[in-house]
């Protein structure tokens, strides 16, 4: 028996039906349920609902019903507590999820039987070193860009205190291996194996051909400084949290103090996910192999 936490994207049209299946399964198996507060609009049973940051100590695993964005939200909420996350895809791409809505009950059966593995995923820690108290974590990426201004931004990048490069363009993506198949991939970054340790940088629309993606060691520390920008730059964490940066602002990015723990099932390989979700390695007109 596990204490099951649930986070749901209630904007998805099938969220109530899938949640109902989870509720029925949990009740039949005697698994206590705790959910995020926003679930109240679609749930059919009475059980505690709390903010996601309060899950620590109250659940053994977290079920994410939604798309990749829901998993990113879940990871930032519970990874520090070491709580594993299982993703059921209610969205479109669902790259980080491991089951479809029709596979919900079978996925829960596999959980109950212990037929799963927990993958530890590298996360980034982000902070402003000049006195700001805020700290953030990212499972996918950290982006520093020009926001809505249609002019170049100039960034200086230092690695462990040593100057790396000046980047003039639309900005810079710093991505984890998990996030290497997201925004960083669209600007020409490499695909990293999702469970490897380390991270990468990928310039966005760099103004010179000398700027290329780079891969860094897990314990490296990057400092990105906003040297010049027309107006304000924007710091974005996992595509969901933003903060404005003025000229002269500095952002420090390093390995987070904890990994994300994502549940996967034996037989579900990363290469198969690449082929089915991104059509990786397939020629024109070819289907999944």
Do the beta carbons of residue 127 and residue 235 sit within 8 Å? no
> Which residues neighbour 225 within 8 Å (Cβ) at sequence distance 6 or greater?
155, 156, 157, 158, 248, 249, 250, 251
Q: Would you put residue 101 in left (φ > 0), alpha (ψ -120 to 50) or beta?
A: alpha
Report the catalytic residues. Answer: 68
Q: Which residues pair with 31 in a beta bridge?
A: none
C-alpha span between 151 and 230 (Å, rounded): 7
- Tabulate helix, strand, coil % of the chain (nearest 5): 25, 35, 45
Question: For 80-94, what is the HEC assignment?
Answer: HHCCCEEEEECCCCC
Do the beta carbons of residue 39 and residue 65 sit within 8 Å? no
Q: How far is CA 238 from the centre of its chain?
A: 6
């Amino acid at each position: 028996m596990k204490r099951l936490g649930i986070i749901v994207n209630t904007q998805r049209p099938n969220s109530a039906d899938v949640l109902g299946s989870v509720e029925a399964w949990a009740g039949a198996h005697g698994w206590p349920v705790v959910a995020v507060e926003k679930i109240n609009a679609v749930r059919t049973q009475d059980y505690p609902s709390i903010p996601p940051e309060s899950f620590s100590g109250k659940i053994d695993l977290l079920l994410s019903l939604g798309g990749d964005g829901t998993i990113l939200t879940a990871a930032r909420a519970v990874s520090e507590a070491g709580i594993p996350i299982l993703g059921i895809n209610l969205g479109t791409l669902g790259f980080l999820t491991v089951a479809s809505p029709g596979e919900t009950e079978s996925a829960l059966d596999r959980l109950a039987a212990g037929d799963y593995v927990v993958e530890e995923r590298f996360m980034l820690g982000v902070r402003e070193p000049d006195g700001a108290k805020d700290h953030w974590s990212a499972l996918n990426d950290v982006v520093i860009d020009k926001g809505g201004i249609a002019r170049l931004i100039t960034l200086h990048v230092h690695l462990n205190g040593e100057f790396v490069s000046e980047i003039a363009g639309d900005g810079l993506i710093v991505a984890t291996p998990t996030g290497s198949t997201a925004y960083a991939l669209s600007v020409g970054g490499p695909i990293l194996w999702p469970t490897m340790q380390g991270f990468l940088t990928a310039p966005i629309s760099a103004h010179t051909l000398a700027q290329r993606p780079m891969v860094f060691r897990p314990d490296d520390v990057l400092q990105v400084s906003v040297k010049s920008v027309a107006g304000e730059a924007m710091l974005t964490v996992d595509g969901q949290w933003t903060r404005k940066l003025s000229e002269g602002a500095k952002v420090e990015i390093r390995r987070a103090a904890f990994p994300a723990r994502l549940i996967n099932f034996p037989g579900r390989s990363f290469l198969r996910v690449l082929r089915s979700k991104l059509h990786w390695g397939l020629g024109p007109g070819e289907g999944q192999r």
